[in-house]
Amino acid sequence: MCGIIGLVGSSDKFPLKPGIMVYRGLLRLEYRGYDSAGVGSVTSKGVQILKGKGSIRELEKKLCLSCIDGAIVIGHTRWATHGAPSDTNAHPHTDCNNKIAVVHNGIIQNYQELRDILIGKGHIFRSETDTEVVPHLIEEIYRRLGDFYESFKRAISMLKGSYAIVVITSYEPDKLFFAKKDSPLIIGLGDGFNLVASDIPAILEYTRYVITLRDNWIGYVSSNKILIEDLADSRVVEWKKLVRTVEWSIEDAVKGGYPHFMMKEIHEQPRALKETLYGVQRDPAIVKAVELLARADNVYITGAGTSYHACYYYSILSSILAKRLVYSFIASEYSVYASTADKPDVLIVVSQSGETMDALKALRAFKEKGVSIIAVSNVVDSAIPRESDLAVYTRAGPEIGVAATKTFTTQTLVLSWLSIALGQGTGALTKSEAEYYRGWLKKSAEIVAKTISWNEALAMELADWMRKKRSVYYLSRGIGVPIAMEGALKLKEIAYIHAEAYPAGESKHGPIALVEEDFPVIFIVPEHRELEKALLGNIQEMKARGASIIGVAAESTSLSNYFDYWFKIPSSHWILTSISHILPQQLLAYYTSVKRGFNPDRPRNLAKTVTVE
Ligand code: F6R
């Protein structure tokens, strides 16, 4: 996820200097990425670029982004996917002759193929990004055609993947060219100037009139003209009917209309899962990880908090799918495990931020023993991936809410993919079995979108009852246990209600003593016949003591008659338990927190990144 803004107009019409307008717009887009940034404009000598690694504010101090000159300016704030955050990987990217500058959000899947062809034709690449193929590709086609817009259109039609792209060029210095597929892009209409941006907050200070672009739309804006075409059928789009007035305040707009970042991030999960899937399907690191894991003596996996729950989930999947026992442990307990670890072992370190000190310490202790390290992180080039032998990334985009939501579902997606690959690699799964499981993972975005829409109203309603409770149990078996643990953590950390999770079979060994009339017990029921059967007895035990039973179970469950409340999950497959069954629990924790009068984005005593031991 990255943020884009572009501006074009007549010099006497801008409300502020264009460089300042773009800089302020970038600050509003910082929630989309902040590891590097840059701006570009057209001058008489070609395109001028100011860019580098660091936050927008740091770069302003160093390079004065807002000082960039010109009546046509683009800006970008980056969330690294291809290539670590660096000065050269920052956007805008240019062609060989410095006449074309491009900013991009999304992933170009066929970039390697295009890059190889362009290098063969003599193009010199300066970065490791997928984006850089775009200016070179346009340049290559323009050499033959001599018509910039036509060359731009042909270049875009050769791209596979997702993109919001904005281009400026000294060949046509009064137009901002744009194209959109699967990544957001809007046009903002000003008086004597026009804007293009990833999101409304970037332009809201300058205009309230916007057009939301659709997939496959392409075109350009100048100070007084807008052309939009549909690339699919070359039809010119009648855009005047599509202009709408935005009623949001700036504060609303940063959260995309949601009252809190946590809610926005819950709803971003279908997109985050799709993008993570794109990445993991093509990531050569998965093949290397399988090689390392297959020849390891012992495999360990560690993380803290939510990331630990993803680790625990992986350890269960690994024994089911790859027939491989994995030791999962909480990162701060590393010394117990590091003491027996040895060279042919592998440690997987899972950390959203890539900076958690407990996880970093575990990594270093194992590394000292000669153990190979695989990182799973959401932040490219953060400390944990940097110090690991190999890194696999989730592509959830920045998570601003302190409680992890989209990063948990994307972590477990990556880890599920890895366990299938390992199962196939070691022969525990046949090719067609592996394909079958992967097929379900590919449906994750669709299942999540449905699960949210089916359960939001019930979560809101139930929160009214839950907010008065002092204590809640979260129970499950097998693959559902880490998901129960994650649900309990969510409620505890943002609604401040005591919540405890444990394997349901443990109930009768102590915890059931607390159960009394109307005590809430949440049962996570994976879509798995044996587990359902085993959970029935536990549900009955709790019911007999007066507990109120909240089931998180598929629509096909045989247990629904035992539930007092039922979070219904669209029927799918148990391999999606971490993704589908956590959703209602995130929603319930969120609404309970809000109904108790708390701010779920800022839970007390907690920080997003814990860099102390
Ligand atoms: C819970 C939460 C924390 C983090 C933990 C590890 O919602 O966000 O428990 O999961 O602090 O953080 P990372 O994954 O950045 O290492």
- Mean pLDDT for all residues in the chain: 94
- CATH code at 258-440: 3.40.50.10490
Let me know: does 381 contact 459? Beta carbons within 8 Å: no
Site to substitute for ligand 1 among 353, 378, 496, most atoms within 8 A of C-beta: 353
Residue showing tokens 């117990």: 336
What's the pLDDT at 351?
Answer: 97
- Higher-confidence position of 256 and 292: 292
The burial class, CB within 10 Å (0-12 / 13-18 / 19+), for 179 is buried
Closest CA to 38 of 18, 64, 17: 64
Question: What would the mean pLDDT of 2-25 be, rounded to a whole number?
Answer: 94
Residue 611 has a pLDDT of 67
Write the residue with the smallest CA distance to atom 4 of ligand 1: 305
**What's the 353 CA to ligand 1 centre distance in angstroms?**
8
**Arithmetic mean of pLDDT, 134-143:** 98
Predicted local distance difference test score (pLDDT) of residue 70: 93
Q: Which atom of ligand 1 is nearest to the CA of 609?
A: 15
User: Band of the pLDDT at 380, cuts 50, 70, 90?
Assistant: confident
Residue range 433-460: average pLDDT? Answer: 98
pLDDT band at 413 (very low <50, low <70, confident <90, very high): very high
Which amino acids bring their CB within 6 angstroms of ligand 1?
303-307, 351-353, 356, 359, 403-404, 489, 493, 609-610
- pLDDT (0 to 100) of residue 201: 85
**Helix (H, G, I), strand (E, B), or coil: what is residue 571?**
coil
pLDDT at residue 460 is higher than 80 = yes
43 pLDDT band (50/70/90 cuts)?
confident
Beta strands 3-9 and 193-197, pairing class: antiparallel
Q: What value does the CA radius of gyration of the chain take, rounded to a whole number of Å?
A: 26
- State which ligand 1 atom lies nearest to the alpha carbon of 402: 8
The torsion angle over the Cα atoms of residues 451, 457, 460 and 465, rounded to 10 degrees, is: -110
Would you kindly state where each structural domain of the chain is located, as residue ranges? Answer: 3-254, 258-440, 443-604
pLDDT, residue 44, reads: 79
Indicate if the pLDDT at residue 536 is higher than 80: yes
pLDDT band at residue 162 under the 50/70/90 scheme: confident
- Look up the CATH number of domain 443-604: 3.40.50.10490
pLDDT above 90: residue 326: yes
For ligand 1, the distance from its centroid to the CA atom of residue 577, given in whole angstroms, is: 20
What is the pLDDT, as a whole number, of residue 318? 97
> Which residue in this structure is represented by tokens 């829409």?
453
- pLDDT(247) > 80: no
CA 377 to ligand 1: nearest atom = 14
Q: Please report the pLDDT score of residue 612 as a whole number.
A: 66
What is the average per-residue pLDDT within 129-153? 97
Cβ neighbours, 10 Å, residue 331: 24
What pLDDT does residue 527 have? 97
The pLDDT of residue 607: 74
CB of 273 closer than 8 Å to CB of 448: yes
Question: What pLDDT does residue 312 have?
Answer: 98
Please compute the mean of the pLDDT values over residues 439-453 and round it to a whole number: 97
Residues 55-107 have pLDDT tens digits of 899 999 999 999 999 999 999 999 888 888 999 999 999 999 999 999 999 88
Q: 362: which residues sit within 8 A by CB, 6+ positions away?
A: 302, 331, 332, 334, 338, 347, 349
Same CATH fold assignment for domains 258-440 and 443-604: yes
Instruction: Flag whether pLDDT at 251 surpasses 80.
Output: no
Residues identified as active-site: 2, 608
Confidence check: pLDDT of 608 > 80: no
Which pLDDT score, from 0 to 100, does residue 66 have?
A: 95
Domain 3-254, CATH: 3.60.20.10
Q: Which of 301, 302, 307 to mutate to test the pocket of ligand 1 (most atoms within 8 A of CB)?
A: 307
For a ligand 1 pocket test, name from 494, 610, 612, 613 the mutation site with the most ligand atoms within 8 angstroms of its C-beta: 610
Q: Which residues pair with 189 in a beta bridge?
A: 194
pLDDT of residue 236: 96
Distance, CA 336 to ligand 1 centroid (Å)? 21
Query: What pTM value is reported for the model?
Result: 0.83
